[in-house]
Amino acid sequence: MRFAKKRRHRGATPLRRETPQAPGQWKAAWGPPLRWLGVALVLAGVGWGLWVGSQKLQDPHAFPLRHVRIEGELRNLAKADLEPVADETLGQNFFMANLDALRAALAANPWIETVAVRRWWPDIVDIELCERVAFGYWGQGEMVDVNGRRFRPPIVRQPGPWPQLAGPEGHEKALIKIYGEVRTLFDPMGLHLARLRQDERRAWWLTFDNGLEVHVGRDQFEQRLRRLAQLYPRMLSAQIDRIAVVDLRYGNGFAVRWKVVEPPTPAAG
Protein backbone atom coordinates (compact mmCIF):
# COMPACT_ATOMS: atom_id res chain seq x y z
CA MET A 1 0.00 0.00 0.00
CA ARG A 2 1.53 3.28 -1.04
CA PHE A 3 0.98 6.51 0.64
CA ALA A 4 0.78 9.59 -1.39
CA LYS A 5 2.97 12.41 -0.15
CA LYS A 6 1.33 15.75 0.30
CA ARG A 7 2.87 18.40 -1.71
CA ARG A 8 3.31 21.89 -0.35
CA HIS A 9 2.27 24.47 -2.78
CA ARG A 10 4.99 26.86 -3.52
CA GLY A 11 4.42 30.29 -1.89
CA ALA A 12 1.78 29.07 0.60
CA THR A 13 2.19 29.96 4.32
CA PRO A 14 1.21 27.37 6.84
CA LEU A 15 -1.43 28.36 9.39
CA ARG A 16 -0.36 28.46 13.10
CA ARG A 17 -2.82 28.25 15.91
CA GLU A 18 -2.16 30.92 18.59
CA THR A 19 -2.23 29.51 22.06
CA PRO A 20 -3.93 31.68 24.79
CA GLN A 21 -1.56 33.46 27.24
CA ALA A 22 -1.16 31.92 30.63
CA PRO A 23 -2.14 34.02 33.74
CA GLY A 24 1.49 34.38 34.76
CA GLN A 25 2.35 35.98 31.45
CA TRP A 26 -0.44 38.58 31.92
CA LYS A 27 0.85 39.56 35.33
CA ALA A 28 4.35 39.79 34.01
CA ALA A 29 3.19 42.16 31.28
CA TRP A 30 0.76 44.41 33.19
CA GLY A 31 1.83 44.06 36.85
CA PRO A 32 4.65 46.69 37.01
CA PRO A 33 2.68 49.47 35.26
CA LEU A 34 -0.27 48.90 37.56
CA ARG A 35 1.92 48.93 40.64
CA TRP A 36 3.50 52.23 39.59
CA LEU A 37 0.06 53.61 38.89
CA GLY A 38 -1.03 52.67 42.41
CA VAL A 39 2.04 54.30 43.91
CA ALA A 40 1.39 57.46 41.91
CA LEU A 41 -2.21 57.58 43.12
CA VAL A 42 -1.13 57.14 46.73
CA LEU A 43 1.48 59.88 46.43
CA ALA A 44 -1.05 62.16 44.78
CA GLY A 45 -3.46 61.54 47.66
CA VAL A 46 -0.78 62.24 50.25
CA GLY A 47 0.29 65.41 48.44
CA TRP A 48 -3.29 66.60 48.28
CA GLY A 49 -3.71 65.94 52.00
CA LEU A 50 -0.51 67.82 52.81
CA TRP A 51 -1.57 70.78 50.69
CA VAL A 52 -4.97 70.91 52.37
CA GLY A 53 -3.29 70.63 55.78
CA SER A 54 -0.80 73.39 55.00
CA GLN A 55 -3.61 75.68 53.90
CA LYS A 56 -5.38 75.00 57.18
CA LEU A 57 -2.21 75.65 59.20
CA GLN A 58 -1.73 78.99 57.43
CA ASP A 59 -5.25 80.15 58.12
CA PRO A 60 -4.74 83.29 60.27
CA HIS A 61 -7.82 82.46 62.32
CA ALA A 62 -6.81 78.87 63.07
CA PHE A 63 -4.91 77.79 66.20
CA PRO A 64 -4.91 81.29 67.80
CA LEU A 65 -2.45 82.22 70.52
CA ARG A 66 -4.37 83.04 73.70
CA HIS A 67 -1.88 83.40 76.57
CA VAL A 68 1.44 85.16 77.30
CA ARG A 69 3.76 83.82 79.99
CA ILE A 70 6.62 86.05 81.24
CA GLU A 71 9.48 84.48 83.22
CA GLY A 72 12.46 86.19 84.84
CA GLU A 73 13.33 88.29 87.89
CA LEU A 74 11.93 91.80 87.50
CA ARG A 75 13.41 94.64 89.54
CA ASN A 76 13.08 97.79 87.45
CA LEU A 77 10.75 96.24 84.91
CA ALA A 78 7.13 95.36 85.50
CA LYS A 79 4.85 93.03 83.56
CA ALA A 80 2.80 96.10 82.67
CA ASP A 81 5.82 97.32 80.67
CA LEU A 82 5.99 94.12 78.61
CA GLU A 83 2.41 92.96 78.21
CA PRO A 84 1.32 95.65 75.69
CA VAL A 85 4.13 94.53 73.37
CA ALA A 86 3.53 90.81 73.90
CA ASP A 87 -0.25 91.10 73.57
CA GLU A 88 0.14 92.07 69.92
CA THR A 89 0.75 88.38 69.15
CA LEU A 90 -2.48 87.22 70.81
CA GLY A 91 -4.99 85.96 68.31
CA GLN A 92 -2.34 85.22 65.70
CA ASN A 93 -1.89 81.75 64.22
CA PHE A 94 0.25 79.54 66.45
CA PHE A 95 2.44 78.44 63.55
CA MET A 96 2.59 81.70 61.60
CA ALA A 97 3.09 84.27 64.40
CA ASN A 98 6.32 86.25 63.91
CA LEU A 99 8.11 85.64 67.19
CA ASP A 100 11.36 87.13 65.87
CA ALA A 101 9.63 90.49 65.56
CA LEU A 102 8.27 90.12 69.10
CA ARG A 103 11.74 89.31 70.45
CA ALA A 104 13.22 92.35 68.69
CA ALA A 105 10.49 94.62 70.09
CA LEU A 106 11.12 93.37 73.63
CA ALA A 107 14.91 93.63 73.27
CA ALA A 108 14.49 97.32 72.43
CA ASN A 109 13.64 97.98 76.08
CA PRO A 110 16.84 99.34 77.70
CA TRP A 111 16.33 97.27 80.85
CA ILE A 112 16.32 93.95 78.97
CA GLU A 113 19.76 92.38 78.58
CA THR A 114 18.71 89.08 76.96
CA VAL A 115 15.32 87.72 75.91
CA ALA A 116 14.11 84.45 74.39
CA VAL A 117 10.62 83.91 72.95
CA ARG A 118 9.12 80.46 72.40
CA ARG A 119 5.71 79.03 71.56
CA TRP A 120 4.15 76.24 73.60
CA TRP A 121 1.34 74.12 72.27
CA PRO A 122 -1.47 74.75 71.99
CA ASP A 123 -1.81 78.52 72.55
CA ILE A 124 0.99 79.97 74.74
CA VAL A 125 3.76 82.48 74.03
CA ASP A 126 6.57 82.02 76.56
CA ILE A 127 8.91 84.99 77.20
CA GLU A 128 12.07 84.35 79.22
CA LEU A 129 14.14 87.45 79.94
CA CYS A 130 17.14 88.59 81.94
CA GLU A 131 16.97 92.12 83.28
CA ARG A 132 20.07 94.27 83.13
CA VAL A 133 21.76 94.69 86.53
CA ALA A 134 22.44 98.39 87.02
CA PHE A 135 25.57 99.64 88.77
CA GLY A 136 24.85 103.35 88.96
CA TYR A 137 24.18 106.56 87.06
CA TRP A 138 26.50 107.71 84.31
CA GLY A 139 26.77 111.35 83.33
CA GLN A 140 23.48 113.03 82.56
CA GLY A 141 20.43 110.80 82.11
CA GLU A 142 22.29 107.54 81.57
CA MET A 143 23.07 104.50 83.69
CA VAL A 144 25.82 101.90 83.52
CA ASP A 145 25.36 98.22 84.29
CA VAL A 146 27.73 95.90 86.16
CA ASN A 147 29.32 94.88 82.84
CA GLY A 148 30.21 98.46 81.96
CA ARG A 149 27.49 98.92 79.32
CA ARG A 150 25.70 102.25 79.29
CA PHE A 151 21.98 102.55 78.71
CA ARG A 152 19.22 105.12 79.07
CA PRO A 153 16.28 103.65 81.03
CA PRO A 154 12.82 105.21 80.81
CA ILE A 155 12.13 104.51 84.48
CA VAL A 156 14.07 103.34 87.57
CA ARG A 157 12.00 101.43 90.11
CA GLN A 158 14.76 99.85 92.18
CA PRO A 159 15.54 101.99 95.23
CA GLY A 160 18.98 103.63 95.51
CA PRO A 161 21.14 105.29 96.44
CA TRP A 162 22.95 104.82 93.14
CA PRO A 163 26.54 106.02 92.77
CA GLN A 164 27.25 108.73 90.23
CA LEU A 165 29.94 107.95 87.67
CA ALA A 166 31.23 110.07 84.80
CA GLY A 167 34.18 109.69 82.50
CA PRO A 168 35.45 109.46 78.93
CA GLU A 169 33.92 107.09 76.40
CA GLY A 170 35.24 103.56 76.83
CA HIS A 171 36.35 104.01 80.48
CA GLU A 172 33.19 102.57 82.03
CA LYS A 173 34.76 99.35 83.34
CA ALA A 174 37.76 101.23 84.69
CA LEU A 175 35.55 103.58 86.72
CA ILE A 176 33.55 100.67 88.14
CA LYS A 177 36.80 99.00 89.24
CA ILE A 178 38.18 102.19 90.81
CA TYR A 179 34.88 102.83 92.56
CA GLY A 180 35.10 99.44 94.26
CA GLU A 181 38.71 100.06 95.35
CA VAL A 182 37.85 103.46 96.85
CA ARG A 183 34.91 102.00 98.75
CA THR A 184 37.08 99.24 100.17
CA LEU A 185 39.62 101.79 101.40
CA PHE A 186 37.33 104.46 102.88
CA ASP A 187 34.10 102.72 103.94
CA PRO A 188 35.68 101.52 107.23
CA MET A 189 36.38 105.20 108.07
CA GLY A 190 32.77 106.22 107.57
CA LEU A 191 33.53 107.89 104.23
CA HIS A 192 31.13 106.58 101.61
CA LEU A 193 31.89 107.45 98.00
CA ALA A 194 28.88 108.97 96.25
CA ARG A 195 30.42 110.29 93.01
CA LEU A 196 33.47 109.34 90.97
CA ARG A 197 34.50 111.40 87.95
CA GLN A 198 37.37 111.28 85.51
CA ASP A 199 37.62 114.36 83.31
CA GLU A 200 38.87 114.62 79.75
CA ARG A 201 42.43 115.17 81.00
CA ARG A 202 42.13 111.82 82.88
CA ALA A 203 42.22 113.55 86.26
CA TRP A 204 40.18 111.97 89.08
CA TRP A 205 37.62 113.63 91.33
CA LEU A 206 35.94 112.00 94.35
CA THR A 207 32.84 113.21 96.15
CA PHE A 208 31.78 111.54 99.39
CA ASP A 209 28.28 111.43 100.84
CA ASN A 210 29.19 113.98 103.56
CA GLY A 211 29.95 116.56 100.86
CA LEU A 212 33.76 116.25 100.95
CA GLU A 213 35.30 116.67 97.49
CA VAL A 214 38.78 115.34 96.75
CA HIS A 215 40.88 116.28 93.73
CA VAL A 216 43.27 113.37 93.17
CA GLY A 217 44.74 114.40 89.81
CA ARG A 218 45.88 112.06 87.03
CA ASP A 219 49.18 110.65 88.38
CA GLN A 220 50.05 108.43 91.34
CA PHE A 221 46.38 107.69 91.95
CA GLU A 222 46.83 104.81 94.43
CA GLN A 223 49.62 106.52 96.40
CA ARG A 224 47.58 109.71 96.81
CA LEU A 225 44.50 107.80 97.93
CA ARG A 226 46.52 105.99 100.59
CA ARG A 227 47.93 109.31 101.75
CA LEU A 228 44.36 110.60 102.19
CA ALA A 229 43.44 107.43 104.07
CA GLN A 230 46.26 108.12 106.51
CA LEU A 231 45.56 111.86 106.89
CA TYR A 232 41.80 111.77 107.21
CA PRO A 233 41.39 110.19 110.67
CA ARG A 234 44.33 112.16 112.14
CA MET A 235 43.87 115.65 110.69
CA LEU A 236 40.70 116.05 108.62
CA SER A 237 37.83 114.17 110.24
CA ALA A 238 37.56 116.59 113.18
CA GLN A 239 37.06 119.54 110.80
CA ILE A 240 35.11 117.81 108.06
CA ASP A 241 32.15 120.19 108.42
CA ARG A 242 34.42 123.11 107.44
CA ILE A 243 36.28 121.44 104.54
CA ALA A 244 35.01 121.89 100.99
CA VAL A 245 37.85 120.42 98.88
CA VAL A 246 41.02 118.46 99.56
CA ASP A 247 43.64 118.72 96.81
CA LEU A 248 46.12 115.83 96.74
CA ARG A 249 48.14 117.02 93.74
CA TYR A 250 51.23 117.75 95.79
CA GLY A 251 54.30 115.60 96.10
CA ASN A 252 54.47 115.45 99.91
CA GLY A 253 51.32 117.14 101.14
CA PHE A 254 47.87 118.41 100.34
CA ALA A 255 45.86 121.59 100.22
CA VAL A 256 42.48 122.33 101.78
CA ARG A 257 39.83 124.74 100.59
CA TRP A 258 37.50 125.73 103.38
CA LYS A 259 33.80 126.24 103.07
CA VAL A 260 32.61 129.80 102.83
CA VAL A 261 30.61 130.64 105.93
CA GLU A 262 28.06 133.36 105.40
CA PRO A 263 28.05 135.92 108.22
CA PRO A 264 24.84 136.07 110.16
CA THR A 265 22.32 138.60 108.94
CA PRO A 266 21.90 141.36 111.56
CA ALA A 267 18.48 141.52 113.10
CA ALA A 268 16.27 144.37 111.97
CA GLY A 269 16.13 147.38 114.37
* Angle ∠(171,166,147) on CA atoms, nearest 5: 50
Percent of the chain at pLDDT > 70 equals 74
Same domain, 104 and 187: no
What pairing do the DSSP bridges indicate for beta strands 193-198 and 204-208? antiparallel
Q: For 172-208, write each residue's pLDDT tens digit.
A: 999 999 999 999 999 999 999 999 999 999 999 999 9
Contact, 135 vs 172, CB < 8 A? no
Please state whether the peptide bond connecting residue 64 to the residue before it is cis, i.e. omega within 30 degrees of 0: no
Whether residues 159 and 176 fall in one domain: yes
Q: Which amino acid is at 53?
A: G
What CA–CA distance (Å, rounded) separates 236 from 26? 117
Cα dihedral value 191, 181, 228, 238, nearest 10: 10
> What per-residue confidence (pLDDT) applies to 52?
47
Same domain, 170 and 253: yes
**How does strand 164-166 pair with strand 134-138?**
parallel
pLDDT band (50, 70, 90) for residue 269 = very low
Q: Is residue 268 part of a domain?
A: no
Whether 80 and 193 share a structural domain: no
The average confidence (pLDDT) of the chain is 84
CATH value at residue 104: 3.10.20.310
pLDDT digits (tens, 9 = 90+) for 104-117: 999 999 999 999 99
179 and 113, same structural domain?
no
Q: Which CATH number belongs to the domain containing residue 176 in this structure?
A: 3.40.50.11690
Q: Which residue among 131, 150, 165 closes a domain?
A: 131
150 plus 254 within the same structural domain: yes
In a domain? residue 250? yes
**109 with 156, same domain?**
no
249, 218 Cβ separation under 8 angstroms: no
pLDDT at 1 exceeding the cut of 50: no
Consecutive H or E run containing 51: helix 23-57
Note whether 181 and 238 are same-domain residues. Answer: yes
Please state whether beta strands 243-247 and 142-145 pair in parallel, antiparallel, or not at all (unpaired).
unpaired
Residues 21-58 pLDDT 10s: 555 565 566 667 767 766 776 766 666 555 545 555 55
- The predicted pLDDT at position 227 comes to 92
pTM above 0.85, yes or no: no
| % of the chain at pLDDT higher than 90 | 67
Residue 89 domain-assigned? yes
How far is 181 from 179, CA to CA, in rounded Å? 5
In-domain check, residue 74: yes
Comparing 2-6, 46-50, 79-83, 254-258, the range with the smallest average pLDDT is: 2-6
In whole angstroms, give the CA distance from residue 192 to residue 210. 8
What is the rounded distance in angstroms from the CA atom of residue 96 to the CA atom of residue 119? 11
Residue 116 φ then ψ, to 5°: -125, 140
Q: Is the pLDDT of residue 70 over 60?
A: yes
Any domain includes 10:
no
- Domain containing 222: what range? 134-258
The number of domains in the chain is: 2
Q: What would the mean pLDDT of 218-241 be, rounded to a whole number?
A: 92
